[in-house]
């Protein structure tokens, strides 16, 4: 039985930071913002403990 008591605060912070970076890239370099899309999605899934 695996009983982890790990905090997801780190993943929520990484999600917020990468989301902001993605939005900034969408405004300033829209042709390259899609490169950042996997990062906020991955951190969101990890923060929600789905992965």
Q: Residue 23's pLDDT is what?
A: 95
Range of the domain at 36: 10-47
Q: What is the DSSP string of 4-34?
A: -----HHHHHHHHHHHHHHHHHHHH-TTTGG
pLDDT in tens, 1-51: 455 667 899 999 999 999 999 999 999 999 998 999 999 999 999 999 998
Does 3 fall in a domain? no
In a domain, 18, yes or no: yes
| Cβ pair 20, 42 in contact under 8 A | no
pLDDT attached to residue 6: 78
5 belongs to a structural domain: no
Number of separate domains in the chain: 1
- The answer as to whether 2 is a domain residue is no
For position 7, what pLDDT does the model report?
Answer: 87
H/E segment holding residue 40: helix 38-47
pLDDT value for 3: 53
Given this model, what pLDDT does residue 33 score?
85
pLDDT at 5: 66
Of 45, 43, 51, 50, nearest to 10 by C-alpha is 43
């Amino acid at each position: 039985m695996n009983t982890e008591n790990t905090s997801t605060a780190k993943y929520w912070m990484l999600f917020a930071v990468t989301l902001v970076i993605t939005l900034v890239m969408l405004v300033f370099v829209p042709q390259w913002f899609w490169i950042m899309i996997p990062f906020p999605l991955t951190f969101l899934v990890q923060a929600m403990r789905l992965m």
